[in-house]
Chains A and B, each alone.
Chain A
Amino acid sequence: MNIHEYQSKQILREFGVNVPNGRPALNVEEAVEAAKSLSSKVCVVKAQIHAGGRGKAGGVKIAKTLDEVKQYATELLGKILVTKQTGPDGKKVNRLLIEEGSNIEKEYYLGFVIDRVTGKVVMMGSQEGGMEIEKVAAEMPEKIFKEYIDPAIGLASFQANRMAYNLHFKPEAIRKAQAFMMGLYKVFIAKDCSIAEINPLVVTKENDVVALDAKLNFDDSALFRHPDIEALRDETEEDPKELWASREGLNYVNLGGDVACMVNGAGLAMATVDIIKYYGGEPANFLDVGGDSTPEKIATAFQIMLEGGQAKGIFVNIFGGINKCDLVAEGIVKAAEIIAKDGAGMPVPVVVRLEGTNVDRGRQILKDTPIKNVIMAPTMEGGAEQIVKLVEEAKKNA
């Protein structure tokens, strides 16, 4: 789960990690009020969206007067910001962070992530502040320093110390840098983070060590023990279909195309998206209905795929393990009753491939209850090819 920069900074503040003074604002008046409450003359107006690369996209402005704050806030609120990470459609700015300006002397990168190979939290630092860490890793890996953290000990002082010296913090800032790292690690553990990234971390001319930006991501599986984090969720940042699906306990990712698919199991669902593309279709989504899908859940899955006219065709690809084919077939019948009233059939072609547990009963159910536009495919390959062809034909005729 992602949260906004201003929310991340609030958490850091609670743990005594140094961040600039600042306040969020939802409208221009609040922005001006926030600026008035700050002690610095110069302040920064920052667009709050769940994506990086805001600075380069014009989402961060330096204001020297209250009039400028007003002007920038007016400009940014409601604007669609297109950054390297938002995709071409961009993201709408609904919130701002108004923050005191910092007297920057030098910028660094500091991050904590999970290392899959060692199974440990790793702290990474570099002097290339402001640059994407992936870019540094690719172009000059020798400039990244790493400290692997033993979970039984936690981040040891000597490790934070070594990082501070490796990054050549000036003597007046060494202890502060070390304290910053220790504090950020505490946040990472206490809140079950998956990423804690400070880019840039800056040393000011006054020798302070401050998080100029802050990005925290959280482990979805651990949210049950962090209701405070769950409460920070900004649903306007999420794809409406993905949000709908997650509320129904379905795993859905919108991929933007028009050939939809409904699959059981994440691995097979990914592979089904791939095979649609292999036959020349544009996948509309990834959708894992899970191992225990009830007919109701399957009906909802159909509604999500069809919402807004996105799906021009649907490929149902089920390998029944725990999931029994007859229950899936019943689900399709139920979905047709809800979506296609009075036997009108499905609004778009639906190709169904069933295999595995109770496959014969599943096929029989669909044979006994013929639904207009629902076609059985004998094989997965044939089914994928057929749905792509049907969607192409439908588009030609439209």
Chain B
Amino acid sequence: MGILVDKNTKVVVQGITGKAATFHTKQMLAYGTKIVAGVTPGKAGQMVEGVPVFNTVKDAVDATGATASVVYVPARFAADSILEGVDAGLDLVVCITEHIPVMDMIKIRRYMEGKKTRLVGPNCPGILTTDACKLGIIPGYIHKKGHVGVISRSGTLTYEATFQLSAAGIGQTTAIGIGGDPIKGTDFIDALKLFNEDDDTKSVLMIGEIGGTAEEDAAKWIQANMKKPVAAFISGRQAPPGKRMGHAGAIISGGKGTAADKIKALNAVGIEVADTVAHIGETVVSTLKKAGIYDECHTC
């Protein structure tokens, strides 16, 4: 169980012949991911790590029945790769690439309206369902099987949080990195909805940061709809206004998007927010105990 991907998901790697893509294809295969095809225009017929390469996503889908893709294509071509995945009718496109122009993402969002494809990212570490499947660059070995879903805008914080959870004996269903860009495919509410419907997930950890109002919107949605306890962490309490903190989307602008506002909104609906990054694991444990589900979530 878990969300979006499992051990049967057939995956195509877009841009598979690139150096990073080849490295991660090997890692994803080692984790047990069913990678059935790769795509790089002009490289059809080649093999990468035993995976056949096609010229187009459509060719790859027709030949293998792949339903999901992961995009490792450089920023100036990545938007086109996402469009190609959507056009080929994939259920899921996960885009790892950072620095896609915002205007390209605006066009992609418009193009995807009414289409069945879900986009995760861009500028994200990908998605990993424990012991079943991973699309992206998340290090697999820190994940342990269990019942907590993880949603995060940051890659390293996903790893940090998961590491703390596993160390505390709290396993995970799926970890999903939604990415650090201002315009993205899947946001907190989308991921929360999926975890809410997943029987195996008993609780969710959300990791937000400065910029935008997605955490505030999620807090409202949780209060109205969420059946499972949620714990949270927000980074960027000390970020000065108007400064971009690494991620394109991590910027306080016009007084909006501060960590203080987000923490306040989450606390207001009863969500415990870790006071420092070192206390994320403890905060989840405390949330599970309060909800009376600690024992069933203590899986590893």
Contacts and interface: CB of A to CB of B under 8 A. Distances in A.
A355 B243 CA distance: 28
A123 interface: no
A278 B275 contact: yes
B144 to A, nearest CB: 15
A270 interface: yes
A225 B276 CA distance: 40
Given A117-B217, A319-B159, A192 B246 contact: no
Contacts of B237: 274, 277
23 contacts: A116-B213, A119-B110, A133-B254, A134-B254, A134-B256, A194-B102, A220-B99, A221-B102, A225-B101, A255-B240, A265-B154, A265-B156, A268-B154, A268-B235, A269-B246, A270-B235, A274-B238, A274-B276, A278-B275, A283-B238, A319-B160, A321-B156, A384-B276
A114 interface: yes
Interface string A158-196: 000000000000000000000000000000010010100
Interface of B: 75-76, 99-107, 109-110, 125, 137-139, 142, 152-157, 159-160, 163, 180, 182-183, 207, 209-210, 212-214, 217, 233, 235-240, 242-250, 254-256, 259, 275-279
A270 B213 contact: no
Contacts, number: 172
Contact of B156 (A222, A267, A278, A384): A267
B160 to A, nearest CB: 5
Contacts of B163: 319, 355-356
A97 to B, nearest CB: 22
B266 to A, nearest CB: 16
A79 B209 CA distance: 37
Main secondary structure of the interface of A (DSSP, over half): mixed
- Among B99, B102, B104, B236, the most chain A Cβ lie within 10 Å of the Cβ of B102
A255 B209 CA distance: 18
B183 A221 contact: no
Q: How large is the interface on A (under 10, 10 to 19, 20 to 34, 35 or more residues)?
A: 35 or more
Contacts of B75: 221, 224
B278 A138 contact: no
A356 B139 contact: yes
Contact of A267 (B152, B217, B259): B152
